[in-house]
Structure 1
Amino acid sequence: MTRFAAISAFLLLLFCQFAAGQKKTLQAVSVTENITINGKLDEAAWEAAPIATDFIMFEPDNGKPIDPSKKTDVKVLYDNQAIYIGAVMYDDEPHKMLKEITERDDFGTSEHFGIFINGFNDGQQDYRFFVSAAGVQMDALATEANEDFSWNAIWSSHVQMTEFGWVAEIRIPYAALRFSNEAKQTWGLNFYRELRRYRQKYTWNRIDTKIGAIIPQAGLLEGIENIKPPTRLFFIPYASYYYDYTDHESNNTFKAGLDIKYGINDSFTLDAILVPDFGQTRFDNVVLNLSPFEQQFNENRPFFTEGTDLFNKGSLLYSRRIGGPPSVSPTIADNETIVDMPNTVDLINAVKLSGRTKGGLGVGILNAVTERTTAIVRNTDTQAQRDVVVEPLTNYNLLVLDQRFRGNSSVSLVNANTTRNGSYRDANVTALVWDLNTKKNTYKLAGDFKYSHINEADDYDGFKTALNFIKTHGHHRYDLLAKYISKDYDINDLGIAFINNYYNFYANYNYRILNPTKNFNSFRFDLSSSVEFQNQTGKTQDYYWVASTNFSSRKNDYWNFSANVRPMITYDFYQPRVSGRYSYNPRAASFSALFSSNYNRKFAIDINPYASFMDETDRNVFEMYISPRYRVNDRVLLILSGDYIFHTNDRGYVDQTNGDIVFGERDRKTLVGELSGRYSINNKMTFNVTARYYWSYAEYDELFTLRDDGFLNYQTNDPAAVSPYDENLNLWNFDLTYSWWFAPASQISVLYRNNALDYRSTIENNLGRNFDNLFSNNLNSVFSVSIRYFVDYNSLRRKS
């Protein structure tokens, strides 16, 4: 490096340090000519527009200026309908750029350009739009806590490969944004570029990672004047056809419905689904569940995942409650049997109203109605059948009021209500939640107070409160938490909470590097401890120390090592399934590791071993998870995964007999194999395949009775008494889908699905025979076609 170049680089670094606390400003230019989105930037208006340049690295080497050979220039135009972004991304090695073709909202292994827009410039929420070098769109609603990629907007983009890099041209209609009705607009703005092959991320306005908040560190967009938010009214009608068949019967089903999105004003939006159809959502990964708690599933229904950040305030919403399993079990006589028990309850309709005022008040209302559902019970003597209500007509309602202030803090009031028609259980939960940050985003005080009321035969009330103090800046950070939950705190009609009736103290210290070193791109060490005490007895129900470290190497391989120690006996108040009873947990230690190789390589692999040892002979857990992946080319990706889990001499609840709580000692084995693959014809047309085989069993060899002190008395190892508790579960799921986004937000989706389940109380150790049992007369298949078409009211009005 020449002396002049060295001095120039030094001065540039000094300037970047000085500018770190300054907000860059870009002027948007008004245009009247038509802008064609073709990736060429060949209209005259682009020539005169001011340039946003001098990008600064966000990760891994925070604060480092972008290399001149990777210079990035961005310009912004606007008219009465939309803003236009033109980005020129230079690259001295364009032939090395990564350009994997993926589905929408999947970043994959590709270069990216992004725009972050905050129409109210309040430092609280971004509308983020990304486009890859392969032309794939990603978009998200972002807060400091979450980037919600289930939100989808209607916007257009086009990319062009050049001899000097690539160009992205983007049009974002105002209907996709939220902003005030002021004559002169000032928006929060940042631009983003990811050089994927180097795993480097850059932004136009520097984001200082020493500070615990990203959104307030945006630059400014000025110059937009005299625009009016358009009427935001969209209709998305759909029609679908399902053909279900098994070895015994087949059914044809036609469905049709409508989604509506209406912008009530510049801030608030109403979303409604009429006659919903969720038949093509991803299958659930069901497991053999021997715990005292229900299995929690991911939400895969778009209506309940899109734009729900506001509704997640206070953590009172577990949307799988809506349209989930019935809440009532049929009461039957000794001479009756249940011949038809629904697995789920049908959703009649649902609406969401959400938005935020100019003063920072966010309002969210979610309302859903599910239909009256019955089971069929048969009298075994007379063969007469009767219907039994297992879920009455039910209304679910969630109200959120979230006041933001000072650009980085908020206080929220949340109410969750479940009302069932007739003399059935009703529930109401109210929460006050706060998230307070210092002006410089260096410290945070968060907490909540929640109160629940259950209205049934015996009403009861409960509450929960927590206070959390966090240092959010610098190399050394910490987190202190205290929490109290009363015995009768219950949010499980619309939310989910597995345990209550305890108080807890938690502490975490962590150290991280903020810039790469000789050996690491990133490095973090954590030391945490938590202790929980049951309220009535004062007994310790959980206590652990965890030390973990994770880092990425200079070659962008990721490593994680963790050790967890429970240094004393604790007591489990949930495993016995009887209020006031508890069982003991011996001292234990567990160790895990994770290696994830750089996904930029065509072949990559994830390896995750785990081992746990209890302070009793041969009560151990061993697990090995391996997932290789191979990117054949920019269109084809294959991912395999295998997970093997082995519990030796595990102990848990099995039954209650003659007033005794019976525990069993069992060996448990679980084998899971999964395959996923993608073939992208282009950036709008994709084939996907997903397959999962699951086999798990629990084989008992001894039974015990639970003593009042939580320990166990030996009962028997007689196979005649023990073996009836054995469980063997096999599951198979297979989805093959074709998806074509034939117009903006308009999709044709074709699905072939088959699944099978085999559950029995006899252990089958042979994998081949398990396959035979699973697929013999158990296979269900579905073929379906769904068409959704997006209609913009503004387009209809212009055509008329």
Structure 2
Amino acid sequence: MFFTRLLPLILFVLPATGIDAFGQSLPDSGRVLTALRTSEPIKIDGKLTEQVWQLRGESQLIQRQPDEGAPASEKTEVWIAYDENALYVGVKLYDNHPDSIVGRLARRDEAAESDDLTIGIDAAHDRRSGLYFAVNSAGAIGDGTLSNDVDTDGSWDGIWQVGVSTERWGWCAEFRIPFSQLRFAERDRYTWGFEVQRRIQRKNEESFLSFYPRTDRVRVSRFPALIGIEGIKPPARIELLPYAAATGKFIQGPAVASFNRGRTDPFETRRNFPANVGLDAKVGLSGDITLDLSLNPDFAQVEVDPAIVNLTAYETYFQEKRPFFIEGANILRFGRGGASTLQDFDWSDPSFFYSRRIGRAPQGSVTHDGFLNVPDRTTILGATKISGKFSDSWSFAALSALTDREYGEVDSAGVRFKDEIEPLSFYSVVRTLKEFNGSRQAIGILGTAVERNIRDSRIAGLLNNRASSIGIDGWSFLDQPKVWVLTGWAGASRVSGSADRITSLQRSSAHYFQRPDASYLKVDTASTSMTGWASRIWLDKVSGNWIFNAALGAINPSFETNDIGFLNRADYINGHVYFGYEWFEPEGWFRTKALTGAIVRAYDFGGNLVGETYEIFLSTQFMNYWSATLAIAHNGETFDNQRTRGGPLMKSLSSQSGYVSVGSDARENLYGSLNASAGKGKSGGWLATSGLYLNWKASRTVNASISLDFSRVHSASQYITEVSDPFAAATYGARYVFGELDQKQISTSFRLNWTFTPTLSFQLYVQPLISTGAYSSLMELARPGTFTFNKYGERGSSMTLSDGTYYIDPDGEGKALQFPIWNPDFNFKSVRANAVFRWEYLPGSTLYFVWTNEKMNYESRGDFSLGRDFDNLLRTTPDNVYSIKLTYWFNP
């Protein structure tokens, strides 16, 4: 099959990319730093006046860019000290032009394009993980976790202090990092990894204590060793964070049936002011094991999801934004360890754990019409998370959550009904990973489980009562310099429920067992369970100028993880080869450049070719730090087993597309980028998109950005519906109705960040969107396995439009019956706004004021008129939610 055909190419590329690459990876840094014990109280003011800072410090940073391997252009001195409770770091950052130092305020963990300093600490000294702490010359801070040698995650917010000061010769930074924030096991003497990174914004210069060639994608494994710390013990780690929250909701009710018109909405809860209290706790169970506990947690999102018009059969994937779930999420990362440059092309990428399943909107519905009182999300009664390391090489994590039973209420002409719309549910995920031979090899296991207590027979037909999955993953570096790495995973899933539920699951968009021409699939209406498997393996080159990545993966038709994971498509086999070359040495107009290409193929388990793509990518950074990207793709003629949404195969004709983007120097006060794409297919379909992004650093405290995106898509065969008809023998007793779709969409996103101090900020986000779709030339698939259609209104068929409904007679005087189709034209408009005021009045303690505003307007018309549509949107009455939340952190 695919990889057999590509074997000669792989054998050709491997020697070309590997012969010289084996000698390019440097050994671990041999630099050793020493921490000094101090009994002198240290005031964290950034002045560095204490005696310990007057001793000789470490210096000699090495550039990574722009002049790789050269000494840093400006002097930096580093001191490290400690006492029984904390680690202290003092840094003097000299500058020959101190008036050119750039310092901008920003919210915690927000990039500010400033002169900044970052320290990294690998307290476990496993050479793969750790924490980082950052500050810029204005005092804005950031922190997060390090994992997989090079991966960073800014969701972790530690409790630590830093002070900065500006001097005539440059600036200073002074850190105090409590040992309670670091995870380490007790020893007589400690050896940690420790790194310092300095960035000089105007020079676009990055320098480190260790040397990191740009061809080597490593970081933590090269940290210098920090010695000298002894006579301390990991402190008892107990952190409590109680909260109190109140919300004012002003929600517009949905349209109601005629017999309720004229009545006042009896559910005042849509304009209510609910209050809530709860507690988050962190407890250190041992040196490197931590328990996170949430009682009655407030899991509301601070920022709203973007508006999206989805015309596919697939679910939209949204990013997690709730702090409990994003903090430390890298510990639950599965299947992608070892390698740092894994690629996926047209891969379905199933997820075993997708945290947004927990607390999602109720999945059931009420059974009566009338005034509604329905919760917009499921209440999370409690959640726990335990994570850490049993040893330097053995990590562990487990998360569990319990969600409440939810009900929807209906008032229909004064009569009240109450229906269960979500059962009591328990979610859990467990993860462990064992590393060997200095992290050159590893093997891990991940398991998930969902248990639902379903009482209502309607819910039993909608949801599985039990779901579980298990996966094994790992990696192995294939050579001593750690240039080549093999990474992979394999897993299995099992779900169980009522026969009706399993039948609907088999027929869902992720599986489509009902496809009439798929002889290897069958809907089993008596089955009460479904078991499946999936796997993927990569061969990746992680260092050197040559780029190479190859992968092969498969998801069998019965694999299912959507109860606690995410899966859009099963019955899929996919493989690719990705290769190219990167130039890091400046030459002519170019500072860096890369040329890469990819070959991708995909099949279903029936052997049908369902994907074939050839792509070329060119990216560059110019000497003035502008950048540009160009991509060209060709999609070959294949079959599509998804377009009829459970019907027979269709042919997918070949197409070509291109993408280009250009961006200015991101260091400038006004930064901008432009992008455009276009594509055309043999089917007659085409697309054109364009986007503009502007970022304005208005002052030291204010940053604003705006993006404007426009797209025009003409689909030659947009699916509309399926109509059963025993006389449609050519298409297995059903008519698959399509239409040509002309879709226009314009969207804007505006952000304003106003940071008054490093602990006081205001953020505003506004996203208006208008999307219209006009259908024409309604038609039905003529024969399976083709791209041939019978257009309605031709060859004896008829189609009339009356009161928003098409009435279609597919064969005129023939036996087929007339059927109606609601006019699918749409005109959707929305605006979402979100404003957040944050004040960290004490370390770890925060006061929030949040306002969320949403307007939505829908019309059954397909024409686009910017002025009219925007005016109609402004006339729409909004939903408003006002929230206040107070948290208080203390360490008893």
TM norm structure 2: 0.83
Structure 1 residue 209: Cα displacement: 3.1
Q: Does 1:553 align with 2:586?
A: no
Pick the aligned partner of 2:835 from 724, 731, 736: 736
CA contact under 8 A between 2:844 and 2:889: conserved in structure 1? Answer: yes
Structure 1 residue 548: Cα displacement: 0.5
Q: What secondary structure, in the 3-state scheme, does the structure 1 residue paired with 2:111 have?
A: coil
CA contact under 8 A between 2:838 and 2:846: conserved in structure 1? Answer: yes
Pick the aligned partner of 2:48 from 10, 32, 41: 41
Partner Cα separation in structure 2 for residue 338 and residue 431 of structure 1: 45
CA contact under 8 A between 2:548 and 2:577: conserved in structure 1? Answer: yes
Q: What secondary structure, in the 3-state scheme, does the structure 2 residue paired with 1:282 have?
A: coil
Pick the aligned partner of 1:346 from 355, 375, 379: 379
> What is the CA RMSD across the aligned residues, in angstroms?
2.2
Q: Does 1:685 align with 2:726?
A: no
Q: Does 1:748 align with 2:847?
A: yes
Partner Cα separation in structure 1 for residue 869 and residue 323 of structure 2: 35
Partner Cα separation in structure 2 for residue 104 and residue 512 of structure 1: 34
Pick the aligned partner of 1:468 from 531, 534, 538: 538
Pick the aligned partner of 2:432 from 401, 409, 412: 401
Structure 1 residue 146: Cα displacement: 2.7
Aligned to 2:152: 147
Amino acid at match of 1:781: N
Partner Cα separation in structure 1 for residue 663 and residue 800 of structure 2: 44
Aligned to 1:373: 406
Partner Cα separation in structure 2 for residue 522 and residue 432 of structure 1: 38
Judged with a 3 Å threshold, the aligned counterparts in structure 2 of structure 1 residues 679 and 337 are, in CA distance, closer, same or farther, namely closer
CA contact under 8 A between 1:280 and 1:751: conserved in structure 2? Answer: no
Q: Does 1:416 align with 2:448?
A: yes
Q: What secondary structure, in the 3-state scheme, does the structure 2 residue paired with 1:287 have?
A: coil
Pick the aligned partner of 2:713 from 647, 660, 667: 647
Q: Deviations for 1:378-406, whole angstroms, at most 9, x for unmatched residues? A: 88xx9855433332111110000111223
CA contact under 8 A between 2:856 and 2:876: conserved in structure 1? Answer: no
Aligned to 1:519: 589
Consecutive unaligned residues in structure 2, runs of 5 or more:
1-23, 254-269, 336-350, 455-459, 500-526, 725-733, 794-798, 807-820
Structure 1 residue 517: Cα displacement: 3.3
Structure 1 residue 311: Cα displacement: 1.1
Q: What secondary structure, in the 3-state scheme, does the structure 2 residue paired with 1:447 have?
A: strand
Partner Cα separation in structure 1 for residue 691 and residue 214 of structure 2: 33
Partner Cα separation in structure 2 for residue 576 and residue 198 of structure 1: 55
Judged with a 3 Å threshold, the aligned counterparts in structure 2 of structure 1 residues 276 and 775 are, in CA distance, closer, same or farther, namely farther
Aligned to 1:662: 737
Partner Cα separation in structure 1 for residue 880 and residue 229 of structure 2: 54
Aligned to 2:638: 570
Aligned to 1:262: 283
Q: What secondary structure, in the 3-state scheme, does the structure 1 residue paired with 2:868 have?
A: helix
Partner Cα separation in structure 2 for residue 712 and residue 739 of structure 1: 58
Structure 1 residue 345: Cα displacement: 1.8
Judged with a 3 Å threshold, the aligned counterparts in structure 2 of structure 1 residues 255 and 151 are, in CA distance, closer, same or farther, namely same
Partner Cα separation in structure 2 for residue 712 and residue 348 of structure 1: 54
Aligned length: 765
Partner Cα separation in structure 2 for residue 242 and residue 22 of structure 1: 53
Amino acid at match of 2:699: N
Pick the aligned partner of 2:772 from 694, 697, 713: 697
Q: Deviations for 1:154-204, whole angstroms, at most 9, x for unmatched residues? A: 100011111111110001000111112011000011111111222221110
Amino acid at match of 1:349: G
CA contact under 8 A between 2:247 and 2:882: conserved in structure 1? Answer: yes
CA contact under 8 A between 1:700 and 1:723: conserved in structure 2? Answer: no
Amino acid at match of 1:452: S
Identity %: 24
CA contact under 8 A between 1:673 and 1:694: conserved in structure 2? Answer: yes
Q: Does 1:391 align with 2:422?
A: yes
Aligned to 2:266: none
Q: What secondary structure, in the 3-state scheme, does the structure 1 residue paired with 2:870 have?
A: helix
Segment of structure 1 superposing worse, 19-28 or 316-325? 19-28
Consecutive unaligned residues in structure 1, runs of 5 or more:
1-16, 794-800
Amino acid at match of 1:317: F
Partner Cα separation in structure 2 for residue 672 and residue 719 of structure 1: 34
Amino acid at match of 1:203: F
Q: What secondary structure, in the 3-state scheme, does the structure 2 residue paired with 1:178 have?
A: coil
Q: Does 1:113 align with 2:117?
A: yes
Judged with a 3 Å threshold, the aligned counterparts in structure 2 of structure 1 residues 416 and 772 are, in CA distance, closer, same or farther, namely same
Q: What secondary structure, in the 3-state scheme, does the structure 1 residue paired with 2:221 have?
A: helix
Partner Cα separation in structure 1 for residue 823 and residue 622 of structure 2: 52
Judged with a 3 Å threshold, the aligned counterparts in structure 2 of structure 1 residues 446 and 20 are, in CA distance, closer, same or farther, namely closer
Q: Does 1:27 align with 2:34?
A: yes
Aligned to 1:770: 869
Residues 286-297 of structure 1: pairs in structure 2 closer than 5 A:
286-297=307-318
Q: Does 1:84 align with 2:88?
A: yes
Amino acid at match of 1:54: Q
Pick the aligned partner of 1:321 from 338, 347, 357: 357
Q: What secondary structure, in the 3-state scheme, does the structure 1 residue paired with 2:713 have?
A: strand
Q: Does 1:434 align with 2:474?
A: yes
Judged with a 3 Å threshold, the aligned counterparts in structure 2 of structure 1 residues 20 and 516 are, in CA distance, closer, same or farther, namely farther
Structure 1 residue 337: Cα displacement: 8.0
Pick the aligned partner of 2:333 from 312, 319, 332: 312
CA contact under 8 A between 2:302 and 2:850: conserved in structure 1? Answer: no
Amino acid at match of 1:363: F
Partner Cα separation in structure 1 for residue 847 and residue 369 of structure 2: 46
Q: What secondary structure, in the 3-state scheme, does the structure 1 residue paired with 2:661 have?
A: strand
Pick the aligned partner of 1:157 from 162, 168, 173: 162
Q: Does 1:202 align with 2:201?
A: no
Structure 1 residue 582: Cα displacement: 2.9
Q: What secondary structure, in the 3-state scheme, does the structure 1 residue paired with 2:272 have?
A: strand
Structure 1 residue 212: Cα displacement: 3.2
Aligned to 2:249: 244
Structure 1 residue 767: Cα displacement: 2.4
Q: Does 1:790 align with 2:889?
A: yes
Aligned to 2:727: none
Aligned to 2:258: none
Structure 1 residue 774: Cα displacement: 2.5
Judged with a 3 Å threshold, the aligned counterparts in structure 2 of structure 1 residues 378 and 501 are, in CA distance, closer, same or farther, namely farther
Q: What secondary structure, in the 3-state scheme, does the structure 1 residue paired with 2:631 have?
A: strand
Aligned to 1:781: 880
Judged with a 3 Å threshold, the aligned counterparts in structure 2 of structure 1 residues 310 and 18 are, in CA distance, closer, same or farther, namely closer
Judged with a 3 Å threshold, the aligned counterparts in structure 2 of structure 1 residues 604 and 777 are, in CA distance, closer, same or farther, namely closer
Structure 1 residue 377: Cα displacement: 6.3
Judged with a 3 Å threshold, the aligned counterparts in structure 2 of structure 1 residues 56 and 400 are, in CA distance, closer, same or farther, namely same
Structure 1 residue 753: Cα displacement: 2.2
Partner Cα separation in structure 2 for residue 649 and residue 532 of structure 1: 22
Structure 1 residue 321: Cα displacement: 0.8
Judged with a 3 Å threshold, the aligned counterparts in structure 2 of structure 1 residues 81 and 650 are, in CA distance, closer, same or farther, namely farther
CA contact under 8 A between 1:153 and 1:176: conserved in structure 2? Answer: yes
Structure 1 residue 723: Cα displacement: 6.6
CA contact under 8 A between 1:211 and 1:474: conserved in structure 2? Answer: yes
Amino acid at match of 2:614: W
CA contact under 8 A between 1:20 and 1:208: conserved in structure 2? Answer: no
Judged with a 3 Å threshold, the aligned counterparts in structure 2 of structure 1 residues 777 and 472 are, in CA distance, closer, same or farther, namely closer
